[in-house]
Each structure stands twice: as structure tokens, then as C-alpha cells.
Amino acid sequence: MSDWVEACAAGDIDEEDVMRFDHGGRTFAIYRSPDDEYFATDGLCTHEKVHLADGLVMDDIIECPKHNGRFNYKTGAARGAPVCVNIKTYPVKVDAGKVLVQIG
Amino acid sequence: MARGMVIIGAGECGGRAALALRDLGYDGPVTLVGDEPHLPYERPPLSKEAMASDAPAIKAIASDEVLAEKSIRHIHSVQAVAIDRAAHTVRLSDGSALPYDKLLLATGSTPRKLPMPGLGGRCVYLRTFADALAIRAHLRAGNRIAVIGGGFIGLELAAAARKLGASVTVIEAQPRILMRGVPAEIAEIIHKAHVAEGVDVVCGQGIASIADDGKEVRVMLAGGREISADLAVIGIGAVPVTGLAAEAGLAIENGIAVDAELRSSDPDIFAAGDCCSFPLAVYGGRRVRLEAWRNAQEQGALGARNMLGAGEAHAAVPWFWSDQYGLSLQIAGLSDEGRSTVRRDLSDGAFILFHLAEEGRLVAASGIGPGNAVARDIRLAEMLIGKRAKPSVEALGSPDVKLKALLAPERSHRLADGGAAPHLPAGILSP
Ligand SMILES: Cc1cc2nc3c(=O)[nH]c(=O)nc-3n(C[C@H](O)[C@H](O)[C@H](O)COP(=O)(O)OP(=O)(O)OC[C@H]3O[C@@H](n4cnc5c(N)ncnc54)[C@H](O)[C@@H]3O)c2cc1C
Ligand code: FES
């Protein structure tokens, strides 16, 4: 369970921004919130399989670049049409300047 | 007892409106009437790559289970044929009548017909899933497809047809494709992509005549060239579906005329989506009718809020996208509002044109590029347009300046969190 993998350095992501992270044939999105916390979700939108990392982060919300569906990236909750299926989230910790994701 | 809410047209807009009524907590009867045999579904995939799959399927907006769980009664394959405004009832084609407290017309639009003799079974239009399946059956190597009209639907279909190996000719009477709403610089990129993929794009040539013997279509161009095809797909725009509203005596003005709250000339009847024209606040109330998926979605939800008495004015900025081959185009705002443009070049050949009004106000942004390269900047531009911002030409033109920084410091714009409860008058939710 507890396989923490290094996604990036803490400074690689701007505040209130998102980055794509591919690992073991899977794709994730790593977020840095405006209050400087890190979060991770599955990389692909639950509407059509589009990389969320091309989308816009504002506050707690990631907006999909394709059709503007919204998720709360902290909880994974679907927050606006056309998305209706929540997105999976993953635990994140920052250790010695590295962002680690528990991809389980 | 409550007569309830009735929605005519079970498309993007009607489907979203029905869901929104429940999400807002309304617990009276909600009835969604549609003349198609399907669940409410998304139309954009019908012309896109999804069509190239072996067994194209409907992308439903809500499943039967969700509709049942939310107690939304969906009457399909039935048409609304008359509205009795005095009695507050809608008569249906199966002979039944539905009472309503508030009515939402979400009847959409329908392809503009090519006003020419000679059209037969090999000349088709694309609007519904049934249309898409019929067209799909012709898309294969060895078949020749003529697309009449260089608009979005025709061009997307041309790309899907090429993917399946059919040979494709696009015929556009105007001097270039995408004359309406798309800047020439961007249309040119799309034109070149089609040519590179082997599409024969013929612009600036009207059609002199069409002959369709049921097996083959022959299109004679004004310049003398003849194009033979196994199928001609006509995509020359759409017209709003207003018959029901017009017969009920509602005001019509390039669509069912509604006010900023989407109310028609009858205070208990609302209209939303492709079928209505409304005042667009961001351009000083200019009356427009949009044929765009997100507008249908947003207006469906806004219509629902206002049916429940929210009294909320439409405030959104128009937004549209199209996918062809690996290219994605996005447009925020209406570019014809602009007098000058500023270009911002992004990576991989992607670029955005910002359209500025005379006084320097940002009024629209059009972008094209591979994948979703322009999405984020277009979205931020949309927010700047909504704020009626006047960003500096230098900032817009230099990709190093983050558009997000231009929204700050006050950042009055937030991404609406769809979970928040709207402010509705007490008592309206439970009639
Ligand atoms: C092939 C295609 C591709 C598209 N691609 C894009 C795109 O890439 N991007 C974009 O932004 N937009 C796109 N659009 C536009 C978008 O799909 C429309 O703006 C949207 O569907 C409008 O939703 P609506 O609910 O207002 O109307 P519609 O989706 O047309 O739904 C109206 C429904 O009402 C029914 N109806 C009408 N009258 C009656 C009646 N009297 N009784 C019962 N039912 C009735 C109709 O049959 C229809 O099912 C595309 C459209 C098509 C056709
Ligand atoms: S792919 Fe994300 S909203 Fe459609």
C-alpha cells in the first residue's frame, strides 16, 4: 500500500497550479494550492479521457481544459457539468523538498 | 397540488434543466418531453472522432437510473404540439395534455435546408444520433463523401470520414471556410490541416445544381466542375425550432425572444439553448442566438433557477470549441465585436488572437493548437472578457506574462463551485 513515489520537486509547480505526472503506465495530476499545500488526483477527466494538467486551477477547483467540467482537487468531488463522476485522489506529502504521492 | 415544471426538448439544455431543478431542491413534478427516442444526449461527439469508432454509442447526459432516482419523468418519442397558455397546459402528439406551473422551451435548432431541387436520399443532414448512424454507414475506404458547407460540423465530419479512409471534398460557397465567427488566420490553419489530410477543399464556388439518383450524388459547381459522391452531407448552418412558440403567440426574433432571465413574452414560459435569442450583457445587451454546447448547458441551469424564481440575469461569456484531427480550436466571446487583434504565440505552433474593441477592451479570444494547448489561456481570457478588462497589448502579446496575473489582484472571478446552493426565494422549492 504505502508505496510513495517521487512526483517532482516542490518548486516545480507554481502556487495555484497543476502538473502532469506519469508513473508505471498511469497518469496523475499534482496540484499546489494557493495556500501552498500539495494534492494529487487521477490525471484524466472522468468525462472524456483528457489530461487535467492542461486545465486551470483556481482556489480548490481544477477545471478540465476540454469542456470546463470541474472537480475539487482536494476531495475529488465533481463540481460542475458535464462531469458527474468524482475523480480519485491520492495522499501527498512533501519531504526534503520533494513531492511524494502514495499511488497505492 | 402543484402542476409542476414541464420542459419541452430533451437535448443538452432540457436535460440539464431537469437535473438542475432537482439539484436546486425543487420537489414538485418535473416532466421532460422529447421527440427523439433516446435519453438526453450530447451532440458534439456526433461529428467528431467518436463517430469513427465501429459502434458509435450515445453519450447520455443522464441514465434512466439517474432520472428515476431524481423523479424526473422523461417522455420520449413524443412531440409537444400545442401550448394552451390560458389553461397552462401542453398538448402532446400522443393525445395527452400536461399541466404546468412554468414551462421551459428547449427545442434546439435544426439544420438549415439547402434550398435546391434535386436532393434525394443520398443528400443528408447531421443533427441527431440517427443522422450520425446513417452517415457512419457510408464512411469507409473507397467511398466518396461531399461535404456541402465549410462550417464546423461539416469540417469535423470531413476529418472523421478521412480517418475512416473515405475520400472527401468540402464545398464552400464563401471565399474561405469558417467565414462566420472564426478569424481568417485560424481558418487558414484548419484549411491546411484538411488539405494535408487529403481533403479537397473547394472555396468560393456556389452550387449550380445537384442531381441525386438515390445511388450517387452529382454536384455541379458554378465554375463548371462536377463532383460525384456516394453521399453528400449538407452543413450550411442551423435554424432555431420555434414553431410551437410562434403558434402559441410568443415573440420570435431570430429564435424565441427571451429577456436576460430567459423569460419569453409569457412570464410563465422560459426558453433556453439553441432555440432562443437573448440579450448578451457582456456586449451591452446585444441580442444574439448561440448554437453552442456550453451555452445550452448553462442556460438550461439558469432557466431552472429562474423557473424557481431566482431572478438571475444571464451573465456568461459565449464559449465554443471544435476538434479536427489533432487540432483543437476554442473561442471565447464573439470576435466580430473586435476592431484590432493581438497575437500570442504559445508552444507547438499554438496561438491565440485577442480581439480588442476600439477603447482597448478585450472582447473575444480565438485560439488554435494541438491538443488542449490553448485551453487555459482561452479560459482566462474568457474571465477577462467577463470583467470587461482592458489588458495591455504588450501583456497579451507576450506568452511569458501569465494571463492569471492580469486577473489579479482583486480576482473577483472565481470558478463557481457547482456544489454551492444558489439563493432562491423561500417556499418556491416545495410547491
Ligand atoms: C454534430 C454536432 C456537433 C456539434 N459540436 C459542437 C461543438 O464541438 N462545440 C459546441 O460548442 N457545440 C457543438 N454543437 C452544438 C451543440 O450540440 C448545441 O448547441 C446543443 O445541442 C444545443 O442544445 P439544445 O438542448 O438547445 O438543443 P438540441 O440539442 O437540439 O435539443 C433539442 C431537442 O428538442 C427536441 N424537440 C424540438 N421540438 C420539440 C417538440 N415540439 N417536442 C418534443 N421535442 C422537441 C429536438 O428533437 C431535440 O432532441 C454541435 C452540434 C451538432 C449537431
Ligand atoms: S473531458 Fe473533461 S469536461 Fe469533458
| Ligand 1 atom 16: residue of nearest CA | B293
Q: How confident is the model at residue B54 (pLDDT cuts 50, 70, 90)?
A: confident
Looking at the complex, report in whole angstroms how far the Cα of residue B253 sits from the nearest Cα belonging to chain A. 29
Backbone angles phi and psi of B279, in degrees to 5: -80, 125
Which regions of A24-91 does DSSP assign to beta strands (E)?
26-32, 38-42, 56-58, 61-63, 70-72, 78-80, 89-90
Across the strands, what pairs with A6? A100
Q: What pLDDT, in 10s, does the model give residues A24-57? A: 999 999 999 999 999 999 999 999 999 999 999 9
pLDDT beyond 70 at B344: yes
Domains, chain A: 4-102 (2.102.10.10)
Q: What pLDDT, in 10s, does the model give residues B211-246? A: 999 999 999 999 999 999 999 999 999 999 999 999
Point out the ligand 2 atom lying closest to the alpha carbon of residue A65.
2
What was the pLDDT predicted at B69?
97
CATH, domain B113-236, list 3.30.70.920, 3.50.50.60, 3.40.50.300, 3.60.70.12: 3.50.50.60
ipTM tops 0.90: yes
Taking the C-alpha atoms of residue B365 and residue B186, their distance in angstroms, rounded to an integer, is 11
Give domain limits for chain B.
Answer: 5-110+239-307, 113-236, 326-407
Pick the residue with more confidence: B29 or B423?
Answer: B29
Q: What pLDDT, in 10s, does the model give residues A59-82? A: 999 999 999 999 999 999 999 889
Cross-chain CB nearest to A79 (options B16, B413, B419): B419
Taking the C-alpha atoms of residue B232 and residue B125, their distance in angstroms, rounded to an integer, is 9
Q: How far is CA A65 from the centre of its chain?
A: 13
As a whole number, the mean pLDDT across chain B is 94
CATH, domain B5-110+239-307, list 3.40.50.620, 3.50.50.60, 3.30.420.40, 3.40.50.170: 3.50.50.60
pLDDT beyond 60 at B424: no
Question: Is the fold of B5-110+239-307 the same as that of B113-236?
Answer: yes
Q: What percent of chain B has pLDDT over 90?
A: 91
Cross-chain CB nearest to A61 (options B371, B375, B417): B417
Taking the C-alpha atoms of residue B164 and residue B66, their distance in angstroms, rounded to an integer, is 35
Taking the C-alpha atoms of residue B104 and residue B264, their distance in angstroms, rounded to an integer, is 9
CB contact (8 A) between residue A68 and residue B293: no
Lowest mean pLDDT: which of A29-43, A79-93, B43-57? Answer: B43-57
pLDDT beyond 90 at B276: yes
Taking the C-alpha atoms of residue B294 and residue B326, their distance in angstroms, rounded to an integer, is 21
What was the pLDDT predicted at B395?
96
Grid cell 450515445 is found at B58
CB contact (8 A) between residue A82 and residue B297: yes
Cross-chain CB nearest to A59 (options B42, B294, B415): B415
Long-range contacts of B249-254 (CB under 8 A, 24+ apart): B249/B85, B253/B277, B253/B287, B254/B287, B254/B289
Average of pLDDT values for B371-377?
Answer: 96
Provide, as residue numbers in chain A, all residues whose Cβ is less than 8 Å from the Cβ of B379. Answer: 56, 63, 65, 68
CB contact (8 A) between residue B417 and residue A66: no
The hierarchical CATH code for the domain B326-407 is 3.30.390.30
Provide DSSP, B31-95. Answer: EEE-SSSS-SB-SGGGGSGGGGSSS----BSS-HHHHHHTTEEEE-S--EEEEETTTTEEEETTS
What angle, 0 to 180 degrees and rounded to 10, lies between the N-to-C axes of helices B152-163 and B184-196? 20
